[in-house]
């Protein structure tokens, strides 16, 4: 079943209601995702990189589209975006489902972590055509329908309209199998004001829209993936340690300085966040490894 429009909520909406919409439609628009001040700060930090960037050189990424990644390295101001109660709340509710397992005679339940996987500004300019509709969780070769391994955000840095390339979404397409192809007739453009956010599941067919206006459309996309998958964008290489330390502990963990239960991501049998500790604490835990770096 395809629904005719995307459900719209406000930031103070009930989390359970938003999760229910996401489970049903695979997508939801939060009209007031960030406030004006947050948006202005992000523009101040990120616009120079966008201005300096050439158009993408691949047809898929868009020959009239500018893309800038490594966003945590470029700004300290992403905390309200990635900890937004509806975005982080929905990502946790949908992906952090306990998995039962036996360890000897003990039945245990392990709840996976989630992690920031990809960050990107996507600025679509006049003359850019529709991006091919795709599922972003195809990156991890997921089968559909199946458990959700990605919950993604598109923050409108500028207004999104049907004419300027507002993200095309096929509601409900996360329920489809892997043989059914997406068609542009089924896709609905995301229309939202600057500061709005589209949240969608990794199994939903979507793509950047075509821009037939004179004004570029700018969006910021950030993806949460299950913590036991490889990050799409390598956050350990993209974000310097000093910058990671400027973010609160919750965000550090979300950037990957955390173990996914039962134990993916350790360093010398310790939690990887040990590398964010002072040198003497690291030396006590890691010994000679610290000096061999
Ligand atoms: O720019 C957009 O609206 C969506 C871009 C997208 O889906 C992608 O590049 O994977
Ligand atoms: Fe995509």
Q: What is the mean pLDDT of residues 207-217?
A: 98
Q: Write down the domain spans for the chain.
A: 8-258, 263-293
Smallest Cα–Cα separation from 117: which of 28, 238, 18?
A: 238
**271 alpha carbon to ligand 2 midpoint, in Å?**
31
Element (H, E) at 89: helix 85-95
Q: What does the mean pLDDT of the chain come to?
A: 96
Pocket residue to mutate for ligand 1, from 122, 138, 184, most atoms within 8 A of Cβ: 122
Q: What atom of ligand 1 comes closest to residue 67's alpha carbon? A: 9
Partners of residue 188 on adjacent β-strands: 169
Q: Ligand nearest 219 Cα, by number?
A: 1
Ligand 1 proximity of 62 Cβ (cutoff 6 Å): no
Per-residue tokens: 145:
């329908």
* Predicted pLDDT of residue 174: 98
Per-residue tokens: 222:
């950030």
Other CB atoms closer than 10 Å to residue 263's CB: what's the count? Answer: 11
CATH fold of 8-258: Jelly Rolls (2.60.120)
* Predicted pLDDT of residue 288: 83
**227 alpha carbon to ligand 1 midpoint, in Å?**
22
Element (H, E) at 120: strand 114-124
Q: What is the mean pLDDT of residues 199-227?
A: 98
Per-residue tokens: 78:
């992403």
pLDDT at 293 over 80: no
Radius of gyration of the chain measured on its C-alpha atoms? 20
Q: What is the mean pLDDT of residues 45-73?
A: 96
Threshold 0.95, pTM exceeds = yes
Atom 2 of ligand 1, residue of closest alpha carbon: 208
* Predicted pLDDT of residue 120: 98
Q: What is the arrangement of strands in the sheet containing 8-9, beginning at the earlier edge strand?
A: 8-9, 27-30, 197-201, 150-156, 217-226, 114-124, 65-68
Ligand 1 proximity of 167 Cβ (cutoff 6 Å): yes
pLDDT grade for 142, boundaries at 50, 70 and 90:
very high
How far is Cα 82 from Cα 71, in angstroms, rounded to an integer?
12
**118 alpha carbon to ligand 2 midpoint, in Å?**
11
Ligand 1 proximity of 69 Cβ (cutoff 6 Å): no
Question: Length of the chain, please?
Answer: 293
Ligand 1 proximity of 189 Cβ (cutoff 6 Å): no
Burial of 159 (0-12, 13-18, 19+ CB in 10 A): middle
pLDDT grade for 267, boundaries at 50, 70 and 90:
very high
Ligand 1 proximity of 206 Cβ (cutoff 6 Å): yes
């Amino acid at each position: 079943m395809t629904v005719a429009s995307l459900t719209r909520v406000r930031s103070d909406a009930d989390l359970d209601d938003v999760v229910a919409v996401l489970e049903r439609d695979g997508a939801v628009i939060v009209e007031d995702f960030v406030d004006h001040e947050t948006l202005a700060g992000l523009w101040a930090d990120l616009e120079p990189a966008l201005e300096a960037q050439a158009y993408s050189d691949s047809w898929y990424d868009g020959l009239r589209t500018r893309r800038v990644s490594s966003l945590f390295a470029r700004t300290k101001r992403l905390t309200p975006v990635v900890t937004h109660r509806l975005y982080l709340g929905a990502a946790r509710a949908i992906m952090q489902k306990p998995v039962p397992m036996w360890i000897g005679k003990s039945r245990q339940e392990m709840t996976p972590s989630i992690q920031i996987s990809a960050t990107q500004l996507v600025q679509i300019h006049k003359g850019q055509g529709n991006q091919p509709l795709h599922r972003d969780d195809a990156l991890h070769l997921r089968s559909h329908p199946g458990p959700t391994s990605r919950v993604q955000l598109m923050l409108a840095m500028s207004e999104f309209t049907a004419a300027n390339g507002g993200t095309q979404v096929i509601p409900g397409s996360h329920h489809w199998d892997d043989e059914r192809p997406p068609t542009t007739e089924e896709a609905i453009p995301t229309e939202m004001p600057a500061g709005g956010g589209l949240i969608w599941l990794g199994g939903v067919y979507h793509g950047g829209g075509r821009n037939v206006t004179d004004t570029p459309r700018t969006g910021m996309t950030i993806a949460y993936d299950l913590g036991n998958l490889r990050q799409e964008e390598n956050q350990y290489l993209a974000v310097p340690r000093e910058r990671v330390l400027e973010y609160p502990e919750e965000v550090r963990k979300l950037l990957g300085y955390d173990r996914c239960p039962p134990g993916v991501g350790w360093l010398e049998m310790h939690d990887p966040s040990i590398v964010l500790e002072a040198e003497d604490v690291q030396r006590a835990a890691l010994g000679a490894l610290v000096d061999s770096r």
